[in-house]
Amino acid sequence: MSNGIASSPAMAPTPVWGGLAPNWGWLLAQGILLVVLGTIGLGMTIWLTLASVFIFGVFLLLGGGVQIFQTSKCRGWGSILGHALIAVL
């Protein structure tokens, strides 16, 4: 059954999993590596918790610094005070 439209190689649909066949070894290695690292991580919950809290604290300090910088662009004492309080918080 034809709909009357000639098909050309340029209009051929690309397979969804087209890049999987040549790279399956890398994907398998990545999966094995993630399972091993996850298993190691389960045994190191205290250290991983401390590391994630440290990283979160660094992100909060960076965010506060950006907020302080944004205070310099504000006009009016109410806006400046609000931005400064949020940055310090």
> Domain boundaries in the chain?
9-88
3-state secondary structure of 33: helix
Residue 37 pLDDT grade (very low, low, confident, very high; cuts 50, 70, 90): very high
Calculate the dihedral angle through the C-alpha atoms of 57, 62, 66, 68, rounding to the nearest 10 degrees: 60
Q: Is the pTM of this model over 0.75?
A: no
Per-residue pLDDT, averaged over 3-29, amounts to 70
Residue 1 pLDDT grade (very low, low, confident, very high; cuts 50, 70, 90): low
Quick one: residue 7, left, alpha or beta (phi over 0 = left, psi -120 to 50 = alpha)?
Answer: beta
